[in-house]
Chain A
Amino acid sequence: MSLLELRAVEVAYGDLPALRGVSVAIEAGETLSVVGANGAGKTTMLRAISGLMRPRAGQILLDGERLDTLPSHAIVGRGVVQVPEGRKIFPSLTVLENLELGSYVAAAKARRRDGLEQVFTLFPRLKERERQAAGTMSGGEQQMLAIGRALMARPRLLMLDEPSLGLAPIIVTEIFRIIGEINRSGTTVLLVEQNTRQALALSRRGYVLENGRVVLEGTGAELLGNEHVKRAYLGM
């Protein structure tokens, strides 16, 4: 059984469909990428998984159990956590407070101290800036905080929505390296990216989303070699 499965999920903003029957399966332990152009529906997909939007048709299953009927906080409680587009950290709260809130749900709260230690090992920068207001940090540091905050929730599935957006290439490389490390330590990763090359290189498998539909799926290497992907997403 897949860890997470979307079955023919349809999501709309009012009458405007954003996902038109998307089926995606994520296996435990893998890194999976979803790539696609602006407006393809990537963020909408993650919002639906996190319970911020309700599908009007289809199902979302975690370990075979319905997830799409639960409120957002219960979904986090099940270990499905996202680093949202735009980060959505709490700007006037300190770095430490942001991380503490990452472990708000009971199971994670019990292991807050461990969590902090792990996050600070992964991102020593955050330790240095523990007492700083989160909103005063650089974009790269804020992205690290957003990832650290999500890790504090002890995710089984970590979803990242364009973590490389707006960051300098060297920081992007660093972030991708860390995502690889998180996956190797046992967390399943769902990576949404427009940075197609780096995302697919990191992933075991990938999906290409266009206009609210999955148009291609395959291993990372297959997709990187695909003619359509090369033309449309890699500028080759």
Chain B
Amino acid sequence: MTGGLLLQAVVSGLLLGGVYGLVASGLSLIFGVLRIINFAHGAVMMLAMYTTYWLFALAGVDPYLSVILTAPLFFALGVVIQKVVIEPNRSAAEHNQLLLTLGLALFFENLALVLWQGDFRTVRVAYSNASFMIGEALVEVPRLVASGGAVLMAVGLFAFLRLTDVGKALRALAEEPEGAALVGINVARIRAAAFGLGSACVAVAGALITPFFYVAPDVAESFNIMAFVVVVLGGMGNFMGALAGGFIVGLAESLGAAFLPGSLKQLVVFMIFVLVLLFRPQGLFGGSRDR
């Protein structure tokens, strides 16, 4: 193996990692506060990618600029999903709530199929092919922007969780729901905020990757699975762990792709996943308290 190949794999991994991290942060926030795995997370990402695509195709809005629209739009969508679909079924058994998010995912994907068919669409912008070299490694500018933007958004989310009352309420609700109600937190409203923020995260991630990633109804399924792996790695409901987990999975995936034959690359990621579940079910970074 050459040093150049290794460097390229590491660079590619890091550029993937930020996006995975943001997608997973959103999933982790929703899981932490609501205690449900949102199988519709990837479908929300797909819808955000279409939104970015159409804004670009119809109105010529730059994909990065469109984030200003997609973030609040998908926050609102998340709030509506929580209030209309999830919240009324809170007392239902947990597996029924899982089926609910699974149903949503299927609904969104089929809606996209009906509306926009299965064609692959791409957003071609002037900087789509921009790149530069670090040593022997090629750095594609849109991937760098996506990863950097995703990290920025994730860091912003963490700051929000640390510094604002609503952020603290989200963390409090994730840890001790009854205690949260007893200090006067409107818990239904905070649950909606969690779903909204989680959806906004994945929507921004989706928007950021459109300059180099095709758009199609099933585009985000692989992200869904990856995000779930990342969330488990980082510790279920551990928001900060999700970002770090994103980079680990991104690196594992690109190193696997560089040094293992063909289809084996995914294997590395799932090997890590299974090992973590077996030996550190609380996640790589979680203390014993993180469920």
Which residues of A are interface residues toward B (Cβ below 8 A)? 50-52, 71-73, 76-77, 81-82, 84, 87-93, 97, 100-102, 104-105, 108-109, 135, 149, 153
Q: Give the complex CA separation of A90 and B186 in angstroms.
A: 16
A104 touches B289 (CB 8 A): no
| Main secondary structure on B side of the interface with A | helix
Instruction: Kindly state the separation between the CA atoms of A82 and B178 in the bound complex, as whole angstroms.
Output: 11
How many of B's residues come within 8 Å of A, CB to CB?
Answer: 21
Known: A81-B184, A92-B289. 5 other contacts (CB 8 A): A71-B186, A71-B188, A90-B171, A91-B176, A93-B175
CB distance from A84 to the nearest CB of B (A): 6
Cross-interface CB contact of A90 among B175, B181, B187, cutoff 8 Å: B175
Which residues of A lie under 8 Å from residue B182 when comparing CB positions? 50, 52, 72, 76, 81-82, 84, 88
Q: Is the CB of A135 within 8 A of B183?
A: no
CB distance from A131 to the nearest CB of B (A): 13
| Alpha-carbon distance between A76 and B169 when the two chains are bound, in angstroms | 15
Q: Which of A52, A91, A149 contacts B181 (CB 8 A)?
A: A52
Residues of B within 8 A of A (CB): 165, 168-169, 171-172, 175-176, 178-188, 287, 289-290
Assess whether A89 is in contact with B181, with CB atoms less than 8 Å apart.
no
What chain B residues lie within 8 Å of A73 (beta carbons)? 181, 184-187
Q: Which residues on the A side are within 8 Å of B172 (C-beta)?
A: 90, 93, 101
The minimal Cβ–Cβ distance linking B179 to chain A, given in whole angstroms, is 3
In the complex, which residues of chain A have a beta carbon less than 8 angstroms from the beta carbon of B175? 90-93
Q: Name B184's contact: one of A52, A76, A93 (CB within 8 Å).
A: A76
Contacts of B165 in A (CB 8 A): 100-101, 104, 109
Docked complex Cα distance between A89 and B179 (Å): 6
Query: Complex: how many Å from CA A105 to CA B289?
Result: 28
* Contact B178 A88, beta carbon cutoff 8 Å: yes
* Contact B289–A135 (Cβ < 8 Å): yes
Distance, CA A81 to CA B172, complexed state (A): 17
Residues of B within 8 A of A84 (CB): 178-179, 182
* B171 contact set on A, CB distance < 8 A: 90, 92-93, 97
Residues on B with C-beta less than 8 A from A105 are 184
| Chain B residue nearest to A99 in the complex (CB) | B183
A contact residues around B180 at 8 Å (CB): 90, 101
Q: Taking A52-B178, A84-B178 as contacts, is the C-beta distance between A102 and B183 under 8 angstroms? A: yes
